[in-house]
């Protein structure tokens, strides 16, 4: 597409014509923020629009009630678009204001822009399908409704069950503060519950009879904190005590639980670090005379870069350019930036690999350069598991003021803004154009597959989530 400006102009116009229904969808999802694997209303809203567009919908993918696929077309290559739509807890925020003002105390909010992500990926999928029909080319377009990205690894569960097998390529994006190829080195992870069982006793009258599960949790945490000196520099370990054993200090706590998130650059390294964390749990149990167990909650692999597709996407981004922001967009973005510290802004700009000179901009109105070198980021995404199976390419779309941190009220406040909608629509154009390049050029897809095969060294994909671990909505309570 990048070599055919007339075709790009026509695609751009077609996406703009379709955009109002999808910007309305993104706003509806923003207004009903639902947490991982509970995104029922968001899913129904997406399915209704896709069915109206003539897509064939398959529900309950991988047995997960809020995972689905929607497909259109026959024959030819099969290209998938990945959509997300889950929110985050504790980030309720009134839209369109540049001060923290929750709509609901402790409520949910779209602090990572997934309301935009899913609607934008859908817009790209529908637009690519329409362009295929117009051109007469053969090809199938599939949209994946992927639940539970935030702390759930929905795509990893879907990947384990073969949901992405047979794709020729996958395309997606993420809202951010810049327009760019999302070429990243990120961290694989394991999220694991550690549970300790001891013996209750009167903490003053007969403490010698008690065996404290809370002591075991605390000793495990101490052990892991000492472990930090002896693990890879890029690794990260975080924890939250999810059951402290009660609120009575005069009762020796018989049960306690801690949730660990263990990250490393490669899934094999994360698995090795997980074993060392388990040793800390075992040691804590021995020291306290308690019993311990663990339960894997979720896991995800690192992203496999695909320069072949990233180069094409970058070319399309350069040709299509950035969104056209107006004075009102710039003014609201500047108001948001006044709520951020200089350190906030500098840190976020650096995380995108952007030039420090861009720290002064309210909204990014260009496209970041791309030389094939991925940016190192310490976060994790279940897109990694898709990328280990099928050539995958991602874009950043400028939907937030420059410097806006992820998972903050500032991100939520911009979720229904005009500049966020513009960023979403522009990302949809770039994604659709990149997919159409794949449909037009089988050799491009072949090169992308060869690159993935080389990166994997001939090894098949193995899910980091064991077969016996069910997705959270399929687990029995207790």
Over residues 105-132, the pLDDT tens digits come to: 999 999 999 999 999 999 999 999 999 9
User: Could you tell me if 195 and 294 are in contact, meaning their C-beta atoms sit under 8 angstroms apart?
Assistant: yes
Three-state DSSP at 478 gives coil
pLDDT at 459 over 90: yes
DSSP string for residues in 241-264: EEE-S-S-TTB--SEEEEEEEEEE
Give me the residue label for tokens 């949209």.
143
In DSSP terms, 71 is beta-bridged to: 56, 142
> Cα(229)–Cα(270) distance, rounded to whole angstroms?
16
Tokens of 448: 């992308």
> Cα(156)–Cα(298) distance, rounded to whole angstroms?
8
pLDDT at 5: 65
Q: Do strands 255-264 and 188-197 pair parallel, antiparallel, or not at all (unpaired)?
A: antiparallel
User: Could you tell me if 453 and 46 are in contact, meaning their C-beta atoms sit under 8 angstroms apart?
Assistant: no
Q: How many helices (H) and strands (E) does the chain have?
A: 14, 13
Average of per-residue pLDDT across 412-431: 98
Give me the residue label for tokens 């300790």.
196
Name the average pLDDT for the chain.
Answer: 96
What angle do the packed helices 40-52 and 5-31 form, to 10 degrees? Answer: 140
pLDDT per residue as tens digits for the range 405-418: 999 999 999 999 99
Give Dmax (Cα) for the chain: 84
pLDDT at 3 over 90: no
Show the domains of the chain with their CATH numbers. 5-186+302-456 (3.40.630.10), 188-300 (3.30.70.360)
| CB neighbour burial string for 282-306, b if at least 16 within 10 angstroms, e if fewer | eebbeebebebeeeebbbbbbbbbb
Average of per-residue pLDDT across 161-180: 98
First to last CA, the chain: 53
Measuring CA to CA, how many Å separate 5 from each of 1, 139, 314, 320? 7, 22, 15, 9
């Amino acid at each position: 597409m990048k070599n055919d400006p007339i075709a790009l102009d026509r695609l751009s116009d077609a996406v703009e014509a379709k955009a109002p229904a999808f910007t309305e969808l993104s706003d509806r999802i923003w207004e009903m923020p639902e947490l991982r694997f509970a995104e029922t209303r968001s899913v129904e809203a997406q399915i209704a629009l896709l069915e109206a567009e003539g897509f064939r919908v398959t529900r309950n993918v991988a047995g997960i009630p809020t995972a689905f696929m929607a497909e259109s077309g026959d024959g030819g290559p099969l290209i998938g678009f990945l959509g997300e739509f889950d929110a985050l807890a504790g980030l309720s925020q009134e839209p369109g204001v540049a001060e923290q003002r929750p709509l609901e105390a402790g409520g949910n909010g779209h602090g990572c822009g997934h309301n935009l992500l899913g609607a934008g990926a859908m817009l790209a999928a529908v637009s690519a399908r329409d362009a295929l029909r117009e051109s007469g080319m053969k090809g199938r377009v599939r949209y994946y409704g992927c639940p539970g990205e935030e702390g759930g690894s929905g795509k990893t569960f879907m990947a384990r069950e073969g949901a992405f097998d047979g794709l020729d390529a996958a395309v997606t994006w993420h809202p951010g503060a810049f327009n760019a190829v999302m070429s990243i080195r990120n961290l694989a992870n394991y999220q694991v519950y550690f549970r300790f069982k001891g013996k209750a006793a009167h903490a003053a009258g007969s403490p010698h009879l008690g065996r404290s599960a809370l002591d075991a949790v605390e000793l495990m945490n101490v052990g892991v904190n000492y472990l930090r000196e002896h693990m890879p520099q890029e690794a990260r370990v975080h924890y939250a005590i999810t059951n402290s054993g009660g609120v009575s200090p005069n009762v020796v706590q018989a049960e306690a639980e801690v949730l660990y998130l263990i990250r490393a650059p490669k899934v094999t390294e994360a698995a090795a670090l997980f074993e060392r964390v388990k040793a800390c749990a075992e040691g804590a149990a021995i020291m306290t005379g308690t019993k311990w167990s663990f339960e894997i909650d979720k896991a995800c692999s690192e992203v496999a870069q695909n320069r072949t597709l990233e180069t094409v996407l970058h070319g399309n981004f350069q040709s299509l350019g950035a969104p056209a922001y107006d004075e009102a967009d710039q003014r609201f973005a500047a108001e948001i930036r006044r709520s951020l510290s200089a350190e906030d802004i500098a840190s976020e700009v650096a995380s995108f690999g952007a030039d420090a000179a861009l720290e002064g901009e309210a909204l990014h109105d260009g496209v970041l350069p791309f030389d094939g070198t991925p940016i190192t980021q310490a976060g994790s995404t279940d897109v990694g598991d898709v990328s280990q199976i099928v050539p995958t390419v991602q874009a950043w779309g400028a939907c937030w003021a420059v410097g806006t941190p992820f998972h903050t009220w500032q991100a939520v406040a911009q979720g229904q803004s005009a500049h966020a909608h513009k960023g979403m629509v522009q990302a949809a154009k770039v994604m659709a154009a990149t997919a159409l390049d794949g449909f037009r050029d089988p050799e491009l897809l072949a090169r992308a597959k060869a690159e993935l095969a080389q990166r994997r060294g001939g090894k098949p994909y193995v899910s980091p989530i064991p077969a016996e671990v069910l997705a959270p909505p399929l687990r029995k309570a207790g």
